[in-house]
Every structure is written in C-alpha cells, then in structure tokens.
Structure 1
Amino acid sequence: MNKKIRVIVVDDSALVRSLLAEIINRQRDMECIGTANDPLVAREMIREMNPDVITLDVEMPRMDGIDFLGRLMRLRPMPVVMISTLTERGAEVTMRALELGAVDFVAKPRVGLASGLNELASQIVDKIRVAAVARVHRVAAPPPGPGVGVAGAPAAAAIPPASPSGLLGRLSTEKIIAIGASTGGTEAIREVLVRMPPDSPAIVITQHMPPGFTTSFAARLNSLCQITVKEAVNGERILPGHAYIAPGGTQFHIARSGANYVAVVDDAPPVNRHKPSVEVLFKSVAAVAGRNAYGVMLTGMGADGAVAMREMKDAGSYNYVQDEASCIVFGMPREAIAHGAADEVLPLTQIAGALVTRLRSTTDRMHHRI
C-alpha cells in the first residue's frame, strides 16, 4: 500500500527538470527516479528503471516529444502526462499527444516559469496520481482518423448518413444531447462525435480543459466530423447538426429563448473545483430540456456531473454512461452509475450507435403518429 509512484521527467530545460523533480519529491506518495534531457536518453532510462509514469515535454531536440510518444505507445504503452506550452502550436501538439495515448497534460506558463510551475504543483501531482492508475491502451501504428476508433482501433461502423426523408432532422430542433468528460475525454468525445450523422440534434459538451486548448480541440473535431464542431459563444442559438464545446476556463450552460436553446458562457466561479463544470451544464439541461434531452457521461476522474445527471434522468432524459473497461479513468462514470443516473452502461464504441438508433426509433414513432 505504501509503494510510491515512480516518475521519470523528460524535458530539455534543466530548470523545468529540477522544478518538476522537486515538486514530485515533496509528495509522500511519489518520487522522481530520474530525469532526461531528450527522448533518446529517456528511452534507455525507461528500459532500465520501468517507471510508473513519465512527464514529457512536447517540444525537444533530437526527437520530437510527439514522435517519441507515438513510438512509446506502440511499443511500450505507459501513462504519460504531457508538459505543454500555452501557445496555439502547443495546444495543437497537445491534442495530437492525447490522440496518441497521453493520459493528460499540464500547460506550463510562458513567463515566470519557476513561480508558475510551483503554482501548478497541486495540479501536476494530481495528474500524475490519476495517470498512475489510468488504463493505458496500446496504440496502433496508423494515426487516428475519422474511420479509426479509440486508441487506434478500427471503428465498428462508418459515420451514419443523414436519416432518410430527413426524419431525424424533424425532431432535432427540440432534442438535445449533453456530454460530460474529463481525463481521457478528448479521445472519447471524438469517438462519439465522428459517428453522429449530419442531421443530429444539437450537442453540448463540457470537457475539463484549461483556457487556450479548447479552440484547437474544437477545430480538430470539426475537421473529422460530419456535424459542425465549435467553441460555444455566449448568446448564440444552439442549432441541430452542431456540437458546442465549453471554452476552457469558463462556465457553460444552456437557456431557453422562445422555442430555441441558447448558449450561456460566463465567468461564474468553479463548481466541484471545475471551470467548466459538467454539473453546471447538466443541471441546466435538466431544467431546460427535460425529456427532450439525452445525457452522455464519459471517462474522467472524480464525480463532477453525477448529481446533475441524476437530475436529468429525473426530469425525463435518457442517459448513457461509458463502461469501466473502455474508460481511461472510471471515476465520473462510476459516480453517475452510483447516483442511479444511467439508463444504459455501454462500451465507448457503442454509445453513438445506441444514441442514433434511439433517436431514429423515437422519430419513426412520431412520424407514424403524424
């Protein structure tokens, strides 16, 4: 029980290496067993020392951090926490790292490195702790794309076409799908969204993510999906065939304006320590959409959103929860199940198909009544 989490720090900056090692060694439950200034040195260290977790700089000499991560996750999958730069390029590279199997990332400050990293210390060690218990998948050689499933596995089905006669579209203005996720969620969300047809109801999403990264996340998803994926903007109408992602560092919920749903993005305080918080989004969906809503809880650490997902169910929504075997971290789905919020618990690759089938059967019933 007292076994410490053994961490190797890989970073080309001597200052960052020493700061991270110091932060790690201050914890009673972990130790930095080595540091490396580039991936080639790190490769030998990993072979010899077999760490529990590695922290990996995104941009390094000799071998890019992403190239190294790709090889590592193919040949010797292990929990990796990326240390990213808070730039547009850093955000894009971080999204790629999460695709390749990194468990999570920390954005290091561009100025005031020493004080900035120390301010992030609790976040860094929390993410190392989560990574140490995360389920890490071996990643296949080809990069993930629209026809590729989580961790590089082939998708079970192609992206569904629009419904015949636009049946789904006739109901999609009143229906709404709400998705919540945290650790491991960027890839889980992609897995669901690439399988949604272009006439899908509107989808609102909260993924725990800091400011500066959700723009790249939305752009990446938009390039892969048949629906339009964007960051939510305060006051905009929420439309069918679109997915709206909570911007990092804000709270996002929905409101009614006449017959329409509208996005509310504001600077409200954190809820369950999170900003954006799944609880905030799901609570609004329960109040505003009721039986017209579908809830989806994906992989993530903690309990954010579980109580509000039960509120959604009590208000008449139908909820899907990701099963333990396909989660990177089973925290949020486990809590949702414990609160009695789940109607179905499914492997990640089956959630979109189940959603679309249910939407279409609902639409068909409505169509026959007309």
Structure 2
Amino acid sequence: MKSKKILVVDDSAFMRKLISEFLSEHPDLEVIASARNGHDAVKKAIELKPDVITLDIEMPEMNGLEALKLIMDKQPCPVVMLSSITKEGTDTTLKAMEMGAVDFIAKPSRAISLDLHKIKDILIEKVLAAAKANISMKPVLAAKPTVIESFVQTNPGQRDRMTFPFQYKKMDKIVLIATSTGGPRALQHVITKLPAALLAPVVIVQHMPASFTKSLADRLDSLSDMRVKEAEDGEILQKGTAYIAPGGYHLKLRKVGSSIVVTLDQTDPEGGHRPAANVTFRSASAIQGVEKVTVIMTGMGTDGADGLIKLKETGVVKAIAESKETCVVYGMPKAAVATHLVDEIVPVDEIAVTIVKYVNDKR
C-alpha cells in the first residue's frame, strides 16, 4: 500500500498528467487528485488532507503564492513549488519559501515540454523528502529582526557597509555556513540578525540552481544590515559581508598573502551537489592561521559532515549544528552531529548569536 498521498496542482493539463505519472511510478507515492488553479487546490487540500502538495506558481484565478498562504492557514502540509527560471519566478519562489513552502523545483522551461523528464528523479526525491519534513518552524517575520550588536561600534542608524576600517586588517576568522532543504528560510532567520560590523566574512553554500542563488543573495541583502552578495570568481573576502556560492559552481577558498580569495569552478558535482559544502570546507581547511566558525543547518543528505572532519583535523574550528526541532529536514545537521565534532546544537533563532559569540571570542 502506498503511504504518501500527493495533490498535484498546475494550470496545464499536460503538466498535471506528466507530474502525476512521474510520482505514481514510485511505490511509496500515490497521486490522489490534481487541481487546475489555486481555488481548486485550496478546496482539495482541505477536503483530502494530502501528505504533500506540488504547487505551480504561475496560475490563473489564484496564483501559487495566494494558494500557499491559504493552505498554510487552513490545512498546513508540506508544499513543493514548481517555478520557472526567470527573475520574477525566482523572486516569487523565495517568497514561497518564506511563507512555509518546504522546497521547490525549477522547471526547465515554462512552455509545455518533455524537458520535464530531465528533472523526474529530482521531483520524486524532493516530494519524498517533503513528506518527512517538519513544517512547524515559524515563518520568517515580516518585521525586520533585532540585529545582534557587535563590540565594534558604528554610527547609530547608519548603514554604511563598505567603509569599516577593520575590513582590511589581517583576517583571523571566517564563518562557513552549509544548508539545503529549508535553507532559504533558515538563512533569513540567521543572516538578518548578524551585524554589519561582524569581524569575519560569511561564506554560504546553499544547494540551489543557478539564478536562484542570485535572487537569494539580493533578497537577504535587502533585509540585512550585513552586506549579502553572490560570490564572484577571484574576489577578496571582506569582513562584514556574506557571500553565497553561485548555483552550478563549487566555491573554493585560498589564501593569497593575508587575504582569502574566492575561486569558482564547475568540476564534477559532489554528492549530487554543485555547489557542495564539503568542497568549500575542504578548501578552507588548507588555509592556515585563520580560525573557522562552521554552521550546518537544515538540509537533506549529509553534505558538510566530511568537510567538517577535515576542518577539525587541520585547524581551530568551532562547529554549530541546527537542532532537530527547527530543521525542515534533519539530515545535514544530523550527519554533522554524528561526527561528534559539533561544539553546539542550537535552534535556528539562536544560531546568529552563537556565531557572533565565537567570532568575538579572542582567546
């Protein structure tokens, strides 16, 4: 007997049929119904109480975001969004993540296309993961969170993020963050609380396709005191700035003099991921004279655990893992904790203050 009931929502009859056929091939998934628009989706979600909903973003009458809000209010369940790879589509997808969607899938094209066969395995994998996801974590608040004060004082109310004198001093610490499923929402809980005067750069590996990472960086930048940007090949890391690895590229770090420089490449995916946190962590482990604060947050799989082992073998590292109760998927943090190398396990709302504590520690 198939255990997980799926509701498929898309305005295209062809897409509804194709997605339903893909999912039905898996022995643990049963498509119990489909819906052609947001109104139909909300009605069937309440009536049928599915275990997972796949929800198209762009639909007539009521779009995916409007439907998602009503579903999360009336009959909360894990939702996987289907998004077009456009600027508008990526921005809307991130809003859906903030509102409680578990994950998303980027359609190869918006037009009806057999290209969807290319993401069949990803679709099944993400729906299976969503069926096990924790959707109890509170949505990101619309109001700007309170930023944690650093011991470096700046002019009150001034958001000059480019001219802090400490940016160009010798770098002695770096923050490395790894996350996957549920990561965009978790990152918003963390990055928006970090001060612009943080005495370290922050390097983020979020498993996402190309173009989505740029939208994520722009979104976090607009909400944060800290500067947030998509990392570029060859740039020098600056304190008080967060860098997100671009989708489709591994991000590696190397030391040049007293600076740390970003290298991007398209070598083979690792563990099915590019970017992969293990790749970034291993490259950071070769950098001597720089302490690392490592954070592994919500995500499916084990990425980051092997890299953490390498980091601990080669330098001074403080490791933080997100606790199970706030993870959307307790995979990556669980694997990190299993190494017995994690220093603190904390809920997502306490990660930022823990980062600041370790960065400010001058022992």
For normalisation by structure 1, the TM-score amounts to 0.90
> Which residue identity lines up with residue 292 of structure 2 in the other structure?
A
Structure 2 residue 243 is matched with structure 1 residue 255: no
Aligned length: 351
Range with greater deviation from structure 2 (113-122 or 83-92): 113-122
Cα distance in structure 1, aligned partners of 2:152 and 2:243: 25
> Which residue identity lines up with residue 225 of structure 1 in the other structure?
S
Alpha carbons 2:182, 2:298 under 8 Å: kept: yes
Structure 2 residue 329 is matched with structure 1 residue 329: yes
Pick aligned residue for 1:183 from 181, 184, 194: 181
1:352 corresponds in structure 2 to 352
Alpha carbons 1:290, 1:312 under 8 Å: kept: no
Alpha carbons 1:55, 1:80 under 8 Å: kept: yes
2:194 corresponds in structure 1 to 196
Structure 2 residue 61 is matched with structure 1 residue 73: no
Alpha carbons 2:80, 2:103 under 8 Å: kept: yes
Alpha carbons 2:133, 2:328 under 8 Å: kept: yes
- What do residues 327-348 of structure 1 show as CA deviations (whole Å, max 9, x unaligned)? 0000000000111231111111
- What do residues 164-219 of structure 1 show as CA deviations (whole Å, max 9, x unaligned)? 46799487832100000000011111211111111111000100001111111000
More helix, by proportion:
1
The aligned runs of 1:1-370 (5 Å cut-off) are 2-110=1-109, 113-137=112-136, 144-147=142-145, 158-164=146-152, 169=166, 173-200=171-198, 201-289=200-288, 292-314=291-313, 315-362=315-362
Cα distance in structure 2, aligned partners of 1:138 and 1:329: 11
- What do residues 285-328 of structure 1 show as CA deviations (whole Å, max 9, x unaligned)? 12215651110000000011101112212322111000101100
Alpha-carbon deviation of 1:248?
0.5
Cα distance in structure 2, aligned partners of 1:9 and 1:319: 40
Cα distance in structure 2, aligned partners of 1:357 and 1:327: 22
Alpha carbons 1:77, 1:137 under 8 Å: kept: no
- What do residues 236-261 of structure 1 show as CA deviations (whole Å, max 9, x unaligned)? 00110110000001111111111000
Cα distance in structure 1, aligned partners of 2:283 and 2:46: 49
Alpha-carbon deviation of 1:71?
2.0
Q: 1:44 to 1:189 in 2, by over 3 A?
A: same
Cα distance in structure 2, aligned partners of 1:249 and 1:146: 31
Q: 1:352 to 1:248 in 2, by over 3 A?
A: same
- What do residues 88-120 of structure 1 show as CA deviations (whole Å, max 9, x unaligned)? 100000000000010000011226743211110
Q: 1:124 to 1:290 in 2, by over 3 A?
A: farther
For normalisation by structure 2, the TM-score amounts to 0.92
* Secondary structure at 1:271 match in 2: coil
Q: 1:111 to 1:327 in 2, by over 3 A?
A: closer
Q: 1:333 to 1:246 in 2, by over 3 A?
A: same
> Which residue identity lines up with residue 205 of structure 1 in the other structure?
I
Cα distance in structure 2, aligned partners of 1:349 and 1:195: 9
Alpha carbons 2:2, 2:30 under 8 Å: kept: no
* Secondary structure at 1:321 match in 2: strand
Alpha carbons 1:73, 1:139 under 8 Å: kept: no
Give the gaps of 5 or more residues in structure 2. Answer: 155-163
Cα distance in structure 2, aligned partners of 1:320 and 1:168: 28
Q: 1:194 to 1:342 in 2, by over 3 A?
A: same
Q: 1:45 to 1:165 in 2, by over 3 A?
A: closer
> Which residue identity lines up with residue 119 of structure 2 in the other structure?
L
Range with greater deviation from structure 2 (177-186 or 284-293): 284-293
Range with greater deviation from structure 2 (44-53 or 319-328): 44-53
* Secondary structure at 1:204 match in 2: strand
Alpha-carbon deviation of 1:13?
0.8
Cα distance in structure 1, aligned partners of 2:89 and 2:289: 39
Report percent identity of matched pairs: 36
* Secondary structure at 1:288 match in 2: coil
Q: 1:6 to 1:71 in 2, by over 3 A?
A: same
Q: What is the root-mean-square deviation of aligned Cα atoms in Å? A: 2.0
